[in-house]
Structure 1
Amino acid sequence: MKRITMPLLALLCLCANVFAQQPFRLQSTEPTGDYTDLLPLKKQFTSAGIIGAGEGTHGTREFFRMKHRLFRFLAAEMGFTIFAMEDNPIGAMRIQHFLETGEGNPIAIIREHFHSVYQVEELSDLVYWMRQYNLRHEKKLRFTGFDCQQMHYFHQELTGLSTRHQLHLFDSLLGYHADTTITFSKAMEPIISICDSILRIMPAASGGVPEKEWRLARFCVENILAGAHQFRLQATDWTRSFNIRDSMMARNVQWIGAQYPGEKMMLWAHNSHLGRLYADSMFTFRPMGAHLHAMYGKNYQNIAMLAGSGTYRAQNDFHAAMDTGHALAAPLPGSVDAQLQAMQVPLFLLPLGNVQLKGRMRTIGTIASEHQFTLWPVELKERYDWVFYAENTTSARGL
């Protein structure tokens, strides 16, 4: 009996594992059209109020278009209303004003107020669609951001608030000028001290300032403080620097949720920020996704996005303009990307709950690189709930 049962059990386990890894084939990343292939997500995301949609590079057209398609689906089928991205909340406020009034030029706003990686046609297409959606529906869509490192935008907004309401509480911060003989990191120290002092004495409300604007003023100071901490440590302690930024981004997501209680939100960010952990040979830090998981539990779910081949948009270095001519290296043998490629399905979503998928993983940020994979293996289901895979990709299209 034992000789029969053990092989049969092994065979059943193998079959179960293969079945668990069957992907949901997708028709296209085209945002318009039929959503039949996305309907399995409705059951999977029933309890989710925040869904993080990632990207393995900051410059892949198919990733960006898939996020657009996903948000359309979530809005139409699951009642999601908030779109929040890895960029500054102040520029996003200008996009939100366009959604509400039709005033302003979204392309000009994106060019002036957004990071160069997101100055792309794919994002402006989403914004124009959101405006048209709002014109046709009573339940409105909202556009916002959650990054903290663009300190000058928070400074500009705080300047406007102070001027408009003749405030003097923020004068020491707004009037600060760094000593040009000291390092950038050292120049952050007085900013940290000033922000700490302001936040200690800043009252919960101000009689002469509307509550919404007063909350925004505090929000700006808190983000300037987080940015200053991040940049003070960037040259000496990357781990703590990343931790500060991602912790603040999670707090900003929480802040957005407080502004729109009860509404569901989709996040747009790099895979590395949305995962429940990040560990490599160089450093380990607790990404935004880990904080959100601690805050919201299963109410937060995420999707990593990976690709097999193609091109992407990035900078050659920090001083260069964005360029679309960068090639994705072939997946390394044994990598997560190679295992996804071996499924021989050109476009799919794969739930990771029961999937043993471990290996090095492609990750590219703002700067193009020939070294495109993590140095240590990644257990994908430890970080993400789903993975989206596209075999052939192209570069995002700059504005």
Structure 2
Amino acid sequence: MKRIYLPLLALLCLCANVSAQKPITLSSTDPAADYADLLPLKNQLSHATVIGAGEGTHGSREFFRMKHRLFRFLAEEMGFTVFAMEDSPIGAALIQQFIDTGEGNPVAIIREHFHKVYQVKELSDLVYWMRDYNLHHDKKLRFAGFDCQQMHYFHQQLSGLSTQYDLQCFAPLLNYTADTGITFSKAMEPIIRICDSLKRVLPASMNGVPEADWKLARFCLNNILAAAHEFRMQQDDWEQSFNTRDSMMANNIFWLAEKYKGEKMMLWAHNSHLGNVYSDSGFTFRPMGEHLRKVYGQRYQNIAMLTGSGTYRALPDHHVEPDTAHAIVPPIAGSAEAQLQAYKIPMFILPLHKSGIRGRMRTIGSIASEYQFTLWPVALRERFNWVVYLEKTSSAATL
């Protein structure tokens, strides 16, 4: 008799767990929609100073529009001023210049300085809104980036500063040219040695260089070093490569927090970077979110975004441009998405502190794939504070 009823009992427990959660139904992903559905978050996020807004794919229109909407809400209702995303701080500085002065073309800046997955209209819409907001408010918004992978942009920035202030100290790094006969990974080794040597001898300040520009020069050096370590280890140690990048991204966020001391910040990144530590089958990933949680505690809140169907924009492979023909495969049995789909609500946000949802989770990066779920189950509440579920999403619009 027990063998007959145990599966039924397990099913009833699962249903009871799902019904015990209290999702907040969302009315729209339109950034211009009113905030009536988001107002319940105001009290529950009142203690947060850094909020990470995630994405299960790098190319879903509704994820991007929901982040835009969320930042508007945080800015207008909760006093957030800093928007920072998983892309180059150097390109972000050019966007900030447009927001401040109107100089430059944000579409051209995004096309030239941002990763291909973020060369989308949804991002430029946010930039134009931030520019308009600053024109009509005394409390100004900031646009920033925190990724370390874009080594060439940090190199360009450091080269410009070196020319401007005649900083010969960086010449060994700026003049380094890799042997064409070695692999990309191997070419990183001299860069690491040069950066390590420079870090040991550079002073805390430099005569004739404004403090802010000297800090920027050292910031560029640190990011070049981190990127070199990441790329060097990709060939031999993927785990350490991932951890190096996320550790540096967290450091860049701490750098922004110091730069904009006392201001509250929203982050835009992939779900995988915003969560807490993930360890399974010998692989331990310490995401950026784990580092933030150690420093900020519950003042850091993260929101995953997941979907059940639709299409997404991504690169078919590393050598071609992104396209929008990629399908979101249906949720697999027992997955996090399947359990969220069981609520039968088209759009909602769910607090996870009491959630028992555990299952494989959809995660798609810059490259399209038919194999869209994590290899091992994820307990959502161990990694995230909240999850936004959108039953159907579509491809972001290429600029």
For the criterion TM > 0.5, the same-fold answer is yes
- The answer as to whether partners of 2:147 and 2:252 remain within 8 angstroms in 1 is yes
Aligned to 1:228: 228
- The answer as to whether partners of 1:91 and 1:109 remain within 8 angstroms in 2 is yes
Measured in 1, the distance between the counterparts of 2:16 and 2:146 equals 40
Measured in 1, the distance between the counterparts of 2:114 and 2:251 equals 20
Aligned to 2:373: 373
SS of corresponding position for 1:265:
strand
1:266-321 Cα deviation digits (max 9, x unpaired):
00000000001234558321000001101111111100000010000001111111
SS of corresponding position for 2:325:
strand
Measured in 1, the distance between the counterparts of 2:138 and 2:284 equals 45
Aligned to 1:147: 147
Measured in 1, the distance between the counterparts of 2:351 and 2:331 equals 21
1:344-386 Cα deviation digits (max 9, x unpaired):
0000000001010000100000111010001111000000000
Measured in 2, the distance between the counterparts of 1:191 and 1:96 equals 30
Aligned to 1:92: 92
SS of corresponding position for 1:36:
coil
SS of corresponding position for 1:364:
coil
Aligned to 1:36: 36
- The answer as to whether partners of 1:47 and 1:299 remain within 8 angstroms in 2 is yes
CA RMSD of aligned residues (A): 1.3
- The answer as to whether partners of 1:280 and 1:375 remain within 8 angstroms in 2 is no
Q: TM-score when scaled to structure 2? A: 0.95
The number of equivalent residue pairs is: 387
Aligned to 1:198: 198
- The answer as to whether partners of 2:18 and 2:343 remain within 8 angstroms in 1 is no
1:47 and 2:63 are equivalent in the alignment? no
Q: How does 1:198-217 map to 2 (within 5 A)?
A: 198-217=198-217
Aligned to 1:283: 283
Percent identity reads 69
Shift of 1:17: 4.5
Measured in 2, the distance between the counterparts of 1:280 and 1:155 equals 36
- The answer as to whether partners of 1:316 and 1:367 remain within 8 angstroms in 2 is yes
Measured in 1, the distance between the counterparts of 2:278 and 2:249 equals 15
Aligned to 1:113: 113
Measured in 2, the distance between the counterparts of 1:377 and 1:309 equals 20
1:166 and 2:180 are equivalent in the alignment? no
Q: How does 1:1-399 map to 2 (within 5 A)?
A: 17=17, 20-279=20-279, 281=281, 283-399=283-399
Q: Please, which runs of 5 or more residues in structure 1 have no aligned partner?
A: 1-12
Counterpart amino acid of residue 193 in structure 1: R
1:145-165 Cα deviation digits (max 9, x unpaired):
000011000000000000111
Measured in 2, the distance between the counterparts of 1:129 and 1:281 equals 45
**Quick one: structure 1 residues 161 and 377, their matched pair in 2 at CA, closer, same or farther if it must change by over 3 Å?**
same
Shift of 1:111: 0.2
Measured in 1, the distance between the counterparts of 2:277 and 2:389 equals 20
- The answer as to whether partners of 2:335 and 2:361 remain within 8 angstroms in 1 is yes
Measured in 1, the distance between the counterparts of 2:311 and 2:33 equals 25
1:218-237 Cα deviation digits (max 9, x unpaired):
00000000000000000111
SS of corresponding position for 1:169:
helix
Measured in 2, the distance between the counterparts of 1:55 and 1:283 equals 22
**Quick one: structure 1 residues 370 and 15, their matched pair in 2 at CA, closer, same or farther if it must change by over 3 Å?**
closer
Measured in 1, the distance between the counterparts of 2:86 and 2:256 equals 13
